[in-house]
Amino acid sequence: MDRSPRARCPVIIDCDPGHDDAIAILFALASQEIDVRGITTVAGNQTIEHTTRNALTVIGLAGHDAIPVARGAVGPLRRSLRIAPDIHGDTGLDGGGDLPAPAMAPIVADAAEYLTERLEPGVVLVATGPLTNVAIALGRHARPDQIIWMGGSVEEKGDVTDAAEFNAFVDPDAAAAVFAAGVEPTMVGLDVTHQARVGPRYQERLRAAGRAGRFTARLLDFYGAVYRQRHGWDGPPVHDALAVAVAIDPALVRTEHLHVRVHTDGPERGRTEVVKDQEPNAHVAVEVDTARFLDLLCSRLESLP
Ligand code: RIB
Ligand code: CA
């Protein structure tokens, strides 16, 4: 995996906003190393109606209404949808405050069509939700340069069941298809994202920043409550923002070239297990430079109006 910092890199974000997805989008929009070509939405943290509206709201807040947003899968390939209102609220962005209604509507093409057309060599896909749209596009022979996925968990306990991280749990069949497609995704899982917690010092910097920074601080207040309750942490992990950070500077994490097996059924549904002595199919992030990540995230968000 190339570990040099990137020049300006064309990126498509497939997401399920969701508090940390929203922060990831703002982070990408604030970073000159990334050229956000488009956003596709998937059901996950909330229903496709909410995740799509939330993506449109966030790009509007950042003044980037011209970025195309394509509405995606209403649910997993084979399973019924599982959403996370206990973490993200009934809107998917609860606590974000009174936000203006989106000025734009989604484009006509759906997410799978958009990804199939636009995931070409040179483009990096950052996926921060269940991989339903991505699996469909890869099945239609879309081939991006790289897929960076926030999902899965190897040594760390899952956040839905002990075995499974949320994005892998919601659509394990899609995750299994992506790992089998020969694209060797970079997996940014709970092993590293649980280190990437935005504590009070950073939250106060953001609260003193511009409109986007203050919005982020409100999101962290709401999103942090469940992590304080469940883990006693003084700041939530911004899982999805770390996936964007890897697109900006791959050296922020150390990865190992491993074979990941996605369990699709039974009590282990959604487990992403590393299987030794099998042909590697992924670059799994195993360490993160937390301080450098948090400083980068915060300074970029502070730079937004
Ligand atoms: O397990 C955390 C992941 O699931 C994050 O992407 C969060 O937004 C949810 O989608
Ligand atoms: Ca997400």
Structure-token match 């939700």, residue found: 129
From the list 88, 194, 239, 283, the catalytic residue is: 239
Question: pLDDT tens, 160-169?
Answer: 999 999 999 9
> Would you say residue 147 lies in a domain?
yes
Separation of CA 193 and ligand 2 centre (Å): 12
> Would you say residue 169 lies in a domain?
yes
Q: What pLDDT, on the 0 to 100 scale, is given for residue 7?
A: 66
> Would you say residue 263 lies in a domain?
yes
Separation of CA 159 and ligand 1 centre (Å): 9
> Would you say residue 245 lies in a domain?
yes
Looking up residue 275, the CATH number of its domain turns out to be: 3.90.245.10
What string of DSSP letters covers 150-209? E---SSSPPSSSSS--HHHHH-HHHHHHHHTTT---EEE-HHHHTT-B--HHHHHHHHTS
> Would you say residue 195 lies in a domain?
yes
Closest CA to 186 of 119, 258, 130: 258
Separation of CA 242 and ligand 1 centre (Å): 11
Q: What pLDDT, on the 0 to 100 scale, is given for residue 288?
A: 98
* Element (DSSP H or E) covering residue 296: helix 290-302
pLDDT > 70 fraction of the chain, expressed in percent and rounded: 98
**Helices vs strands, H then E, count in the chain:** 12, 10
Q: What pLDDT, on the 0 to 100 scale, is given for residue 4?
A: 58
> Would you say residue 24 lies in a domain?
yes
The tokens for 39 are 């956003």
CA 44 to chain centre: 11
> Would you say residue 2 lies in a domain?
no
Of 81, 167, 170, 223, best ligand 1 pocket probe by most atoms within 8 Å of the beta carbon: 167
**What residues contact 237, with CB distance under 8 A and at least 6 apart?**
20, 190, 193, 194, 195, 196, 197, 198, 227
DSSP 125: E
Q: Please compute the mean of the pLDDT values over residues 290-304 and round it to a whole number.
A: 98
CB 115 within 8 Å of CB 214: no
Question: pLDDT tens, 84-117?
Answer: 999 999 999 999 998 889 999 999 999 999 999 9
- Confidence (pTM): 0.97
Q: Is the pLDDT of residue 177 over 80?
A: yes
> Would you say residue 4 lies in a domain?
no
Count up the domains in the chain and report the number: 1
Question: pLDDT tens, 188-247?
Answer: 999 999 999 999 999 999 999 999 999 999 999 999 999 999 999 999 999 999 999 999
The tokens for 29 are 């929009």
Domain that holds residue 46: 9-303
CA 92 to chain centre: 14
> Is the CB of 173 inside a 6 Å radius of any atom of ligand 1?
no
Residue count (the chain): 305
> Is the CB of 110 inside a 6 Å radius of any atom of ligand 1?
no
The tokens for 199 are 């504590």
